[in-house]
Amino acid sequence: MLAAEVGGQRRFEVEADTVGSALRSLPVSNLVFDERGRLRQLVNVYVDGVDVREHDGMDTSLTGGEEIRLVAAIAGG
């Protein structure tokens, strides 16, 4: 669904110091974050395969070259 919102583009290269600032620079940021700027509950974020909850969440630092993946959580029915 996110890719469909940006004409099918599935990858973006951005420059950012943190995971949060990287995601906020995306054209789908208002789908990833709610109106209070919080990461939506059912959106999972991985940095090089590791859930950012195991790091510092949106404040997780980036040094360059990392791959961030957005994955919709398994929910619903």
Partner 1 sequence: MSALLVGTRKGLFVLTSGDERRDWEVSGPLLKGWEVFHAVPDPRDGSVYAATNSFVYGATVHRSEDRGETWTRAEELGLPEDTGLTLEKTWHVRPGREGEDGRLWLGGAPGVLFRSDDHGRTWETVTSLVGHESRDKWNPGAGGMCCHSIQLDPDDPSRMYVAISAAGTFRTEDGGESWEPANSGVAADFFPDNPFPEVGQCVHKLLVHPARPERLWQQNHCGVYRSDDHGRNWERLEGNGLPSGFGFPIMLDPSDPDTALVIPEEGAENRVTPDSRLGVYRTRDGGQSWELLESGLPEPAWVAVLREASSFDDGGVYFGTQSGSVFASADGGSSWVEAATHLPPILSVEAADWR
Q: Which of 39, 37, 31, 41 is nearest to 3 (CA)?
A: 31
**Per-residue binding letters, 38-67, with partner 1 (x by CB under 8 A):** --x-xx------------------------
Q: How far is CA 26 from CA 6, 64, 75, 76, in A?
A: 10, 17, 24, 26
Among 12, 14, 25, 30, binds partner 1 (CB under 8 A): 30
CB of 44 vs partner 1, minimal distance in Å: 10
Using CB under 8 A as the binding criterion, the count of chain residues that bind partner 1 stands at 18
